[in-house]
Amino acid sequence: MDKAELKRLIDTAAGRVAPDLAIRGCKVVDVYSGIVSEGDIAVCGGIIAGVGSYRGNEEIDGTGLYAAPGFIDSHIHIESSYVSPEEIGRLLVPHGATTIIADPHEIVNVCGLAGLDYMLDASEGTSLDIKYMLPSCVPATPFEHAGAVIDAAAMEKPLADDRILGLGEFMDYPGVISAADGILDKLMAAKAAGKLIDGHSPSVKGLELNAYAAALIHTDHECSTVEELRDRIARGIYVLLRQGSACHDLRNLIKGVTPENSRRCLLCSDDRQPKTILELGHLDDHLRICLEEGLDAVTAIRMATLNAAECFRLYDRGAIAPGLRADIVLLDDLSHFKVRRVLIGGVEVAREGKYLPPVRHHSIASVTGSIRLKDFSEKRLKMRLSSGRVNVIGIIPGSVVTRKKVADVTLSADGDFVYDPKRDIVKMAVVERHQNTGNVALALLEGYGIKRGAVALSIAHDSHNIIVVGTNDADMAFAVEQLKAQNGGVVLALDGKVLENMPMPIGGIMSDQSGEWVDRRLSRLHRAALQELGVNADVEPIMTLCFMSLPVIPEIKLTDMGLFDVTRFDFIDIEADKAD
């Protein structure tokens, strides 16, 4: 803002000059005072000039409507929605989102800093203000191959970028607590740049939580109990109350929110798939849940606005007050939170559920072609076991946690696993797709239920290698090859043919299509997986597999480097006798 613009803003606020826009006769939610008052909102040059009595060059009739600050999602992975930054903006803005704090952890693990650059550039194509954190754990663990390695030295340049608010969730909380040397370097890089550090500390407590907080970890979205919420707030950590498509912690945590601690509580999605957005909404859905659980409306709105703005040092937004950005949501009421109109920087960008600006898509050329396979063929899927007594990954329906189980299976004459249609045990492979290592790791999976064909996908948290599960090697190999041909995504194969698929050319983890298209494809995939392939009805066929290679969630997982026992924190043999 230059001097002339400042003078005009002051003149507008004082009533000497008509505002560019006046929202007239609305009920203004004052998140500073905790009250609702009636008045007109004057906007000048995208900035709120004042609340009072104004007539504007342009006017919006706000009679009967509530004006709230624009909603801020304090932690979300755009990639988990399976759509691009431009498309997530089109989906979220009509629900009142004006700012999101995004952690591009997934695409940076696939494409390195080129993935971050793509996300930054693509975000220019939406009116949604997308602020980014720099992923802190690339790779997430040393037990798998990712697409990049980003150490403290590599962090210095992006941390100096004004578009980066800080370090993303520090998933390696054991490294922080133990003061590991490389971790300390990353923490120091953030501190040197004057940037925030997001947290991730599930179930950490006591002295270990003290150690984590002492590193000035700023936030945590992994709380699931009231006790964990209180422990973190007492140590100066902001708590992000999560309600995503996969993890639903908000109702539990609301019970711990009090008038004394509510200013340290924020709302976040973490992940939000198109189906959830299209059916339930975004932070407007969070606000409804807050009221259902007994929280008052203004406190809930404050958690979605001012608290988030202050936490992430976005001091130009978060409230309706003179001098702040004109990010404004007009609501029917403070019970159902039906969003009528949305303004970002004083420009109306959504009305009656429709996104108004054109969507400008950035080129995806820099993040395509990420499926690189070395020496892969059907024969790489053959097991050579000497004993049929094996360790098995046991799926728990509705959970990403697995059980380590032991089973007796049938082997062929040359030691390969033989699928038995009477038993719910099938072959699973993880195929490395980033570094041309040629790694293909094999294991056995129980509880998925597939009875025919194969399912392959290149969405596999956090390193996103290929996971394929099936009843026969031919369909499994075919599915992997088709996945490469379509630049990643999901493939369902049966009898050497593609049954259903969803190409995801952006890093092999995101579609370049609309959210509605993704929703329709996912519905078709789910239907075919259950009805044609026989996957268990109580298992989410895609998301369940996405977590079968994540070696930080108990008890047992498979990475491209082998079968990993999370409780031992070490690799084990498929043959149970050898592992013990």
Residue by residue, DSSP assigns 531-553 as HTS---TTS-TTHHHHTTT-TTS
Could you give the 3-state DSSP secondary structure of residue 291? helix
Could you give the 3-state DSSP secondary structure of residue 254? helix
| 223 falls within a domain | yes
Give yes or no: residues 431 and 291 share one domain: no
Give yes or no: residues 453 and 386 share one domain: yes
| 226 falls within a domain | yes
Euclidean distance between CA atoms 502 and 521, whole angstroms: 6
Beta bridge partners of 270: 76
Q: Is 579 left (phi over 0), alpha (psi -120 to 50) or beta?
A: alpha
Would you say how long the chain is, in residues?
A: 580
Give yes or no: residues 214 and 280 share one domain: yes
Domain coverage including residue 82: 70-317
**Residue 166 backbone dihedrals phi, psi, to 5 degrees:** 170, -160
Give yes or no: residues 390 and 244 share one domain: no
Give yes or no: residues 396 and 513 share one domain: yes
| 48 falls within a domain | no
Residue with tokens 């708590």: 239
The total number of structural domains in the chain stands at 2
The pairing of strands 389-395 and 440-446 is: parallel
Euclidean distance between CA atoms 315 and 325, whole angstroms: 10
Give yes or no: residues 401 and 475 share one domain: yes
* DSSP run (H or E) holding 152: helix 152-159
Amino acid at 165: L
Write down the pTM of the prediction: 0.95
| 568 falls within a domain | yes
Give yes or no: residues 517 and 411 share one domain: yes
Other Cβ atoms less than 10 A from the Cβ of 188: the count is 12
| 26 falls within a domain | no
Query: For residue 565, what are the contacts with CB-CB under 8 A and spacing of at least 6?
Result: 404, 555, 556, 571, 572, 579
pLDDT value at position 580?
Answer: 53
Give yes or no: residues 281 and 395 share one domain: no
Give yes or no: residues 102 and 250 share one domain: yes
**DSSP characters over 331-359:** ES-SSS--EEEEEETTEEEEETTEE-SPP
Check residue 65 and report its DSSP letter.
P
Could you give the 3-state DSSP secondary structure of residue 435? coil
How confident is the prediction along the chain (580 residues), in pLDDT tens digits per residue? 899 999 999 999 999 999 999 999 999 999 999 999 999 999 999 999 999 999 999 999 999 999 999 999 999 999 999 999 999 999 999 999 999 999 999 999 999 999 999 999 999 999 999 999 999 999 988 899 999 999 999 999 999 999 999 999 998 899 999 999 999 999 999 999 999 999 999 889 999 999 999 999 999 999 989 999 999 999 999 999 999 988 889 999 999 999 999 999 999 999 999 999 999 999 999 999 999 999 999 999 999 999 999 999 999 999 999 999 999 999 999 999 999 999 999 999 999 999 999 999 999 999 999 999 999 999 999 999 999 999 999 999 888 889 999 999 999 999 999 999 999 999 999 999 999 999 999 999 999 999 999 999 999 988 999 999 999 999 999 999 999 999 999 999 999 999 999 999 999 999 999 999 999 999 999 999 999 999 999 999 998 999 999 888 889 999 999 999 988 889 999 999 875 5
Euclidean distance between CA atoms 419 and 424, whole angstroms: 9
| 18 falls within a domain | no
| 148 falls within a domain | yes
Query: 317, 351, 377: which is the final residue of a domain?
Result: 317
Q: For residues 345 and 317, is the Cβ–Cβ distance under 8 A?
A: no
Using alpha carbons, select from 152, 139, 85 the residue that is nearest to residue 109.
Answer: 139
Give yes or no: residues 304 and 373 share one domain: no
Other Cβ atoms less than 10 A from the Cβ of 163: the count is 12
Beta bridge partners of 501: 491
- Look up residue 429 and give its two tokens: 């492979």
pLDDT value at position 569?
Answer: 87
Q: For residues 549 and 557, is the Cβ–Cβ distance under 8 A?
A: yes
pLDDT value at position 468?
Answer: 98
**DSSP characters over 166-215:** EE-----HHHHHTT-HHHHHHHHHHHHTT-EE----TT--HHHHHHHHHT
Query: 317, 349, 382: which is the final residue of a domain?
Result: 317
Give yes or no: residues 127 and 208 share one domain: yes
- Look up residue 221 and give its two tokens: 């979205």
Other Cβ atoms less than 10 A from the Cβ of 194: the count is 10
Give yes or no: residues 380 and 442 share one domain: yes
Euclidean distance between CA atoms 25 and 42, whole angstroms: 11
| 16 falls within a domain | no
In CATH, what number is assigned to the domain containing residue 282? 3.20.20.140
Query: 317, 351, 382: which is the final residue of a domain?
Result: 317
